[in-house]
Amino acid sequence: MTKASFKEKLRSKKATAGITLGARIALLSAIALLVVVLDQVSKAWMRLVLVRGDLPLIPGVLRLSLVENTGAAFSIGQGATWLFIATAMGIIFCAYLWVINDKNLPLSIVVSLGVICGGGAGNLIDRLVRGSVTDFFATEFIKFPIFNVADIAISLGIFVAFILIWRYDRRDDQRCDRTTK
């Protein structure tokens, strides 16, 4: 058995646990929807609560500060709304394509993709409806861009997906090495 075929066999049996394509798409969509709801509710709430100004959340560490951002982190790309819309749509489309085309994609990666898609969709909704993204978490102990729930989801989802992909590839390589000796 070749290393590549062993990897495919291992991934198909263990990682997906026989979950159908429809179930994987439903899982991705449900997680994305949950993140979108959390993001949009938090943004609507902050637009109501923060009309009078900033609120300290954890003094010296984190405060709530309402900002409407037409760019990305550090206000990069101000006014490039359509570029951000196209990018978000492309990433969401690619995530769904990956889930559809890789029947052996581990469920943990499907979950991470759902979190990423939800964050991307949350900011996409803001850009389409408001022309900007509502940000409200501001760090006080370091200079860092003001961010929101969608940004947290995107960052966390990407971080976890990279770790999972690295872990699966490394574990598969170790198993293949043991069986080929």
Of the residues 54, 102, 126, 135, only one is catalytic, namely: 135
Q: Is 135 in contact with 145 (CB distance < 8 Å)?
A: yes
135 is catalytic: yes
Amino acid type, 119:
G
Of the residues 39, 126, 151, 172, only one is catalytic, namely: 151
How far, in Å, are 29, 37, 125 from residue 24 at the CA level? Answer: 9, 20, 24
Q: Is 25 in contact with 99 (CB distance < 8 Å)?
A: yes
Calpha distance 109→120 (Å, rounded): 16
Residue 141 DSSP symbol: S
Paired strand residues for 137 = 64, 147
The owner of tokens 């989801």 is 153
Calpha distance 84→100 (Å, rounded): 24
Amino acid type, 94:
C
Instruction: Please give the positions annotated as active site.
Output: 135, 151
